[in-house]
Copies of this chain bind each other. A is one copy, B any other.
Amino acid sequence: MTNTKILIVEDHRDVRDLLRDVLANDYQVVEAVDGVSALAKFNTEAPDLIILDLMLPQVTGESVLKTIRKTSAVPVLVLTAIQDKQKVVALLEEGANDYLTKPFDIDELLARVQVQLRQRTKPLNEQNKLTYGAIVLNPSDHQVVINGQKLPLPKKEFAILQLLLAHPKQVFTKENLYETVWGEPYLNAENTLNVHISNLRNKVNDLAGTPNKYIISIWGIGVRLV
């Protein structure tokens, strides 16, 4: 059992069970049953590979892929019904790394998973600690350290900081940020998010000491680290 983590996104229970069974021997497995939870899991779990069913309720696999590709190069292996084969070319161009048509051969699946993981030369020494400047965030024990001082953070603030640190310098629109952290549509929740950001920023700046504004707003666009 490695510490390699695979996210399975599949709404059909039977397929999901099958995938989990065959992958669980060799990998850590996390699961999502629809597009929204897929994105949430993607952000919180930071998987090393994603197996993505195309046919999902509501948010389609395609749009999940697109969203993920905005911030990440994580390998994505798409599952597709045989009649979708025309779509596949477009999908590969949009960022999918490989695909399998259902029903798929288990051994081939495993082999293709291996191929994707092999490409990635991720230094496994540092777990999934996130660092930016003086900020160190460790998801596994839910702890943030800034300049050596511990900073206890409530869940939401932690999640926001984690998302920002996971994609440094990338601009997040308020909508984007809210939907991935809260996992629900951004409906005039503007102020809620603003308040959280404000609180988080104060705490971070307090410890960072420097007049460094780590979390800055880009007027009319969103928020990012600097």
A141-B169, A220-B154, A220-B155 known; A89 vs B73 contact (CB < 8 Å): no
Contacts of A119 in B (CB 8 A): 97, 119
B112 engages A224 (CB within 8 Å): no
Contact yes or no, B72 A92, CB < 8 A: no
Q: What are 15 pairs between A and B in contact, CB < 8 Å? A: A69-B124, A70-B124, A71-B124, A73-B124, A89-B107, A89-B108, A89-B111, A92-B112, A92-B114, A119-B119, A140-B171, A141-B170, A143-B169, A154-B219, A155-B221
Size bracket, chain A contacts = 35 or more
CA distance A171 to B69 in the complex (A): 32
- Indicate with 1 or 0, residue by residue over A133-176, a CB within 8 angstroms of chain B CB atoms: 00000001111000000000011000000000001011100000
Of the candidates B97, B124, B141, B219, the one whose C-beta lies within 8 Å of that of A171 is: B141
Which of chain B's residues have a CB closer than 8 A to the CB of A32?
none
Q: Mark A195-226, 1 if CB is under 8 A from B, else 0.
A: 00000000000000000000000111110100
Assess the B154–A224 pair: CB atoms within 8 A: no
Q: How many copies does the complex hold?
A: 2
Whether B224 lies near A141 (C-beta < 8 A) is yes
In this assembly, does A115 line the interface, its C-beta being within 8 Å of a C-beta of chain B? yes
> A112 CA to B124 CA in the complex, in Å?
23
- How far is it, in angstroms, between the C-alpha of A105 and the C-alpha of B108 when the chains are bound? 20
A179 within 8 A of B: no
Question: Which residue of B has the minimal Cβ distance to A219?
Answer: B154
Q: Is the CB of A170 within 8 A of B140?
A: yes
* A124 with B155: CB separation less than 8 A: no
Most B CB contacts (10 A, CB to CB) among A88, A92, A123 go to A92
| Least distance between A130 CB and chain B CB atoms (Å) | 15
